[in-house]
Amino acid sequence: MLIPCPYCGPRDLAEYTYQGDATRARPDPATAGQAAWNAYVYERANPAGPHREHWQHAGGCRAHLVVTRDTVSHAVLAVAPARAGEPS
């Protein structure tokens, strides 16, 4: 699978490190109970179709990216830099 880095161009999957689901919202530490934290840490969806994920170009420019990937065909649909302060 090739992931097109916005800085380095298309690169092989071996250069990247998967960082997790980009659609999950972290619970608010001030108000969330133990059940909310357990769900955040342990429960994972297994969607079929387009899905947003965090990846790091660890073998290249080391940029953190949000990759939209079809989990059925593994086709990469979109890649964008993951910047602090922007919704993921």
Detail the DSSP E strand segments found in 1-88.
2-5, 9-12, 17-21, 50-56, 64-70, 76-81
Is the pTM higher than 0.85? The answer reads no
Residue boundaries of the structural domains of the chain: 1-22+46-83
Q: Distance between CA 9 and CA 73 in Å, rounded? A: 21
Q: Distance between CA 88 and CA 24 in Å, rounded? A: 9
CATH 3.30.465.10 fits 1-22+46-83, yes or no: no
- Distances in Å between the Cα of 47 and the Cα atoms of 53, 60, 80, 85, 87 are 12, 29, 20, 26, 20
- Would you give per-residue pLDDT tens digits along the chain (88 residues)? 999 999 999 999 999 999 999 998 899 999 999 999 999 999 988 889 999 999 999 999 999 999 999 999 999 999 999 985 454 4
Q: Distance between CA 38 and CA 34 in Å, rounded? A: 6
